[in-house]
A and B are shown apart, each in its own frame.
Chain A
Amino acid sequence: MKLRRIQGDLWEIEREGGMKVPGRVYSVGPPVPDDPALRQVCNVAYLPGILRFSLAMPDIHWGYGFPIGGVAAVDVEHGAISPGGVGYDINCGVRLISTQLDAGAIVGRLHTVTAQLFRDVPTGVGASHAIPRLSDEELDGVLVGGARWAVKRGFAVSSDDADRCEEGGRLAGADPSAVSPRARLRGADQVGTLGSGNHFLEVDRVAEIHDAAAAEVFGLYPGRVAIQIHSGSRGLGYQVCDEALATLSSLRADFGEDYRALPDPQLACAPVQSEPGRAYLGAMQAAANFAWANRQVMTALAVRALTRALGASEGEVGACVLYDVCHNVAKLETHLVDGQPRQVLVHRKGATRAFGPGDERVPAPYRAVGQPVLIPGDMGRYSFVLAGTARAMEETFGSSCHGAGRLLSRGQALKAARGRSIARELSARGIEVLSRGKKTLGEEMSEAYKDVADVVGVMARAGITRPIARLEPMGVIKG
């Protein structure tokens, strides 16, 4: 593998073998050539129809087939769609809700607030029944309507919640009939549930403002409380991905030499315009909508819980959906390629859309500033709110990083946490944390993650996203 520095933190992997394009890696420190995630960047470059570069964001780490932190745009007419380029948790993403509450005023009631959230938002292994099990007809509504379905059902803090989400909280083209009965069964009782692993619900404090004018446009003020939700499409999305991988793995040889030559079976893919390719796209879009409905229902549950715990009125809480971003998705988008607007399919796996100022796809209230980009860190340090830039549109198909990335495996983290009470350590620092599983806190402790500030710093220096605000956790709910 031949690596050369383009400039600053941006490195290029030269084409070799069957790579159709070079790799481009934004890296925290010089990239290490034997990093298996970099090999995956090269493997992705074999994808039929890939355009310009196989991209890696600075939080890149090894994933199944595609690296997490990978971005690949393909030609819609001649390119391939890959379930591995989206990931198992389709539309895993982050939502941020601003409030008018002063953080200082809730410090004394933090335990009450966190406990109420923990009671009202189902979390952990097998979490279900936040709302009654959905009928097949209702599930069709979720799969087509996304966040808009939930708003219509009354799960909203404002009627325009969905307008403040990426894609308006629903992907057009979703095909509920492409979602199998098994996937439907897995999802029917999981709308409005957080799940486990690295998913979380946080009560945050706006700790630092980097750009006061932009922060004001986003509704973020120093010392105010915000709620952050990280979750995805739960079992339904996993089942859609799993079934698509099985189908496409068995069909790989039928699509021609380019598909047979793919270096990793987990890169299984199909031409976007083939029947299996269209079927996966329709099912994946439906699963993405399920995830938006999931986060929308949790938004309503969380704001109600906060209001109840504080004995406050809705007006006093003043909750407002700031934005909602996908981390795992493939989307049909128009981008300038060789100076010409062209429809492409952008795979973002562990990467966030980051459209710049003036783009019509950014909600009108934020259009002058650029799209809000929400980057969670870990439960003991901080998260960031960034804004997309024109350079992101030029260099990364409007994409940025998505989080800190793990430093320790779950096993290593548990070993490091042995004999310690992570909850007590966090409590001593003023962070109230509740989790369903006892091991979760060890697996998810701060030291298990890289410093997200380093990741965000690379993107800022490269001009891909610019920092607007920094959030610090006060109360954390884990699975």
Chain B
Amino acid sequence: MALLRELLFRFATERILPGACEVVRLDAQGAEVVVGFGSFDLGRHADGLDIKAVTRHQARFEEADGRWRAQFVFDI
């Protein structure tokens, strides 16, 4: 959730969007991810969802059968 919040904050303040990511570490303590950003372009992105908040509603981050699943609800 902290990662998603940070991505949202970067978009809101620097007008950059995540374009690629590499998961370096993922465990019960959280994740370490390297993110590549691109610039916000009104011509290309105006139709995208304007995510305003990463809510806590039904937020989940759990491991099952060696795979991690995350669920988050965005306020748009």
Residues of A within 8 A of B (CB): 64, 88-89, 124-126, 182, 185-186, 195-197, 235, 238-239, 241-242, 245, 249, 265-266, 410, 436-439, 479
In the complex the two chains form, what is the Cα distance from A197 to B52 in whole Å? 10
User: Is A186 a contact partner of B12 (Cβ separation < 8 A)?
Assistant: yes
Contacts of B45 in A (CB 8 A): 125-126
User: Is A439 a contact partner of B57 (Cβ separation < 8 A)?
Assistant: no
In the complex the two chains form, what is the Cα distance from A242 to B56 in whole Å? 9
Residues of B within 8 A of A (CB): 5, 9, 11-13, 15, 40, 42, 45-48, 50, 52-57, 75-76
In the complex the two chains form, what is the Cα distance from A436 to B50 in whole Å? 12
Contacts of B11 in A (CB 8 A): 126
Contacts of B47 in A (CB 8 A): 437-439
Q: Which residue of B lies closest to A235 (CB)?
A: B12
Contacts of B54 in A (CB 8 A): 242
Contacts of B76 in A (CB 8 A): 197, 410
Q: Which residue of B lies closest to A199 (CB)?
A: B50
* Nearest CB in chain A: distance from B45 CB, A: 7
* Nearest CB in chain B: distance from A80 CB, A: 18
User: Is A64 a contact partner of B42 (Cβ separation < 8 A)?
Assistant: no
User: Is B50 a contact partner of A196 (Cβ separation < 8 A)?
Assistant: yes
Instruction: Beyond A125-B42, A125-B45, A265-B56, list 10 extra A-B contacts (CB 8 Å).
Output: A64-B75, A124-B50, A125-B46, A125-B50, A126-B40, A126-B45, A195-B50, A197-B52, A235-B52, A249-B56
User: Is A186 a contact partner of B13 (Cβ separation < 8 A)?
Assistant: yes
User: Is B9 a contact partner of A238 (Cβ separation < 8 A)?
Assistant: no
In the complex the two chains form, what is the Cα distance from A88 to B57 in whole Å? 13
User: Is A238 a contact partner of B52 (Cβ separation < 8 A)?
Assistant: yes
* Nearest CB in chain A: distance from B43 CB, A: 11
Counting from the closest, the 9 A-B pairs by CB-CB distance are A196-B50, A125-B50, A185-B13, A235-B12, A437-B47, A186-B12, A88-B53, A238-B53, A436-B46
In the complex the two chains form, what is the Cα distance from A436 to B43 in whole Å? 10
Contacts of B15 in A (CB 8 A): 126
* Nearest CB in chain B: distance from A266 CB, A: 6
Q: Provide a sorted-by-A list of 13 A–B residue pairs whose CB atoms are within 8 angstroms.
A: A64-B75, A124-B46, A124-B50, A182-B9, A185-B9, A185-B13, A238-B75, A245-B56, A265-B56, A266-B55, A437-B46, A437-B48, A479-B50
* Nearest CB in chain A: distance from B72 CB, A: 12
Q: Which of B15, B45, B48, B75 has the most CB of A within 10 A?
A: B75
User: Is B50 a contact partner of A242 (Cβ separation < 8 A)?
Assistant: no
Selected from B13, B40, B42, B75, the residue in CB contact (under 8 A) with A88 is B75
Contacts of B12 in A (CB 8 A): 126, 185-186, 235
* Nearest CB in chain A: distance from B28 CB, A: 18
In the complex the two chains form, what is the Cα distance from A199 to B5 in whole Å? 23
Q: Which residue of B lies closest to A241 (CB)?
A: B53
Contacts of B42 in A (CB 8 A): 124-126, 436
Contacts of B53 in A (CB 8 A): 88, 238, 241-242
Contacts of A238 in B (CB 8 A): 52-53, 75
* Nearest CB in chain A: distance from B15 CB, A: 6
Selected from B13, B48, B52, the residue in CB contact (under 8 A) with A89 is B52
* Nearest CB in chain A: distance from B14 CB, A: 9
In the complex the two chains form, what is the Cα distance from A277 to B67 in whole Å? 39
In the complex the two chains form, what is the Cα distance from A437 to B42 in whole Å? 9
In the complex the two chains form, what is the Cα distance from A479 to B54 in whole Å? 20
Contacts of A89 in B (CB 8 A): 52
In the complex the two chains form, what is the Cα distance from A241 to B45 in whole Å? 26
Q: Which of B13, B40, B76 has the most CB of A within 10 A?
A: B13
Q: Which residue of B lies closest to A440 (CB)?
A: B47
Contacts of B9 in A (CB 8 A): 182, 185-186, 239
In the complex the two chains form, what is the Cα distance from A202 to B76 in whole Å? 21
Q: Which of A64, A242, A436, A438 has the most CB of B within 10 A?
A: A242
Q: Which residue of A lies closest to B17 (CB)?
A: A126
* Nearest CB in chain A: distance from B70 CB, A: 17
User: Is A266 a contact partner of B56 (Cβ separation < 8 A)?
Assistant: yes
User: Is A266 a contact partner of B57 (Cβ separation < 8 A)?
Assistant: yes
User: Is A197 a contact partner of B50 (Cβ separation < 8 A)?
Assistant: yes
Contacts of A195 in B (CB 8 A): 50
Contacts of A125 in B (CB 8 A): 42, 45-46, 48, 50
Q: Which residue of A lies closest to B42 (CB)?
A: A126
Contacts of A182 in B (CB 8 A): 9, 13
In the complex the two chains form, what is the Cα distance from A235 to B5 in whole Å? 12
Supposing A88-B75, A125-B50, A185-B13 touch, asked if A242 and B57 sit within 8 A by C-beta, the answer is: no
Contacts of A436 in B (CB 8 A): 42, 46
